[in-house]
């Protein structure tokens, strides 16, 4: 079995759905003026989950109650660092009574998860976390390091990304993003270094 197939075989879709729902259930709407309305609770959950999977975890305090959480596997000295980045903040839920399903209940209905942040982007963050854990579980050797970054403040001033880019782990990364294509039937992988970030 190839290394890739070995890692893919260890991805449990039920685990992915459960992790996504757990993240959605933790409100992380940043409300200026309310020191309790930050990404802290969801970041703590991400940190605990990453540690339970044996990832090397680094927590970066970007601002009070607003930590970046990074989980890594592999060795930086062995080759490039690939960063899979997601964010922990979500936009406001607005009027909860206007929702068909409660915004932080993460209800699973007909194979769909309903809740604030389910698509943007707690499901994507959960997918990156599960992928890293599957590679770790497979024991596959890496020719470098894989880092999953759960960053704060994507919906605001990007202070999490700016902070990360100023750190050694941020400067060492080779980011990859996926994007859909009108012509392609599957996502395309795009590697780039954003201006002002390295």
Helix (H) or strand (E) holding 146: strand 145-151
Establish whether 56 is a catalytic residue: no
Looking at the chain, list the stretches that DSSP marks H as alpha helix, in order from N- to C-terminal side.
3-8, 13-24, 40-52, 123-138, 159-165, 168-171
Q: Specify the residue for token string 């980045």.
A: 85
Retrieve residue 73's tokens. Answer: 């596997």
Instruction: Using alpha carbons, list the distances in angstroms from residue 34 to 29, 39, 48, 65, 103.
Output: 10, 12, 25, 11, 19
Please tell me the number of Cα atoms within 13 Å of 176 on its side-chain side: 13
Single out the residue of 57, 32, 34 nearest to residue 47, CA to CA. Answer: 57
In a 10 Å sphere around its CB, with 0-12 CB exposed, 13-18 middle and 19+ buried, how is residue 167 labelled?
A: middle
Name the 3-class secondary structure at 190: strand
**89 given a catalytic annotation:** yes
**13-24 and 123-138 helices cross at what angle (nearest 10)?**
140
178 forms beta bridges with 189
Single out the catalytic residue among 39, 47, 89, 153: 89
Instruction: Give the residue numbers marked as catalytic.
Output: 89, 154
């Amino acid at each position: 079995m190839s290394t890739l197939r070995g890692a893919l075989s260890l991805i449990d879709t039920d685990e992915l759905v459960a992790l996504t729902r757990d993240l959605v259930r933790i409100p992380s709407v940043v409300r200026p003026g309310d020191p309790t309305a930050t990404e802290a609770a969801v970041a703590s959950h991400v940190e605990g989950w990453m540690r339970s999977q044996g990832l090397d975890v680094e927590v970066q305090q970007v601002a009070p109650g607003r930590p970046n959480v990074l989980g890594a596997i592999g060795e930086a000295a062995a080759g490039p660092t690939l960063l899979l980045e997601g964010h922990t903040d979500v936009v406001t839920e607005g009027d909860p009574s206007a929702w068909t399903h409660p915004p932080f209940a993460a209800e699973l209905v007909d194979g769909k998860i309903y809740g604030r942040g389910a698509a943007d982007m707690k499901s994507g963050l959960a997918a990156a976390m599960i992928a890293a854990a599957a590679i770790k579980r497979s024991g596959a050797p890496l020719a470098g390091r894989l880092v999953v970054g759960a960053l704060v403040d994507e919906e605001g001033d990007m202070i999490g990304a700016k902070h990360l880019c100023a750190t050694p782990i941020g400067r060492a990364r080779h980011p990859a993003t996926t994007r859909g294509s009108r012509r392609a039937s599957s996502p395309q992988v795009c590697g780039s270094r954003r201006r002002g970030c390295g």
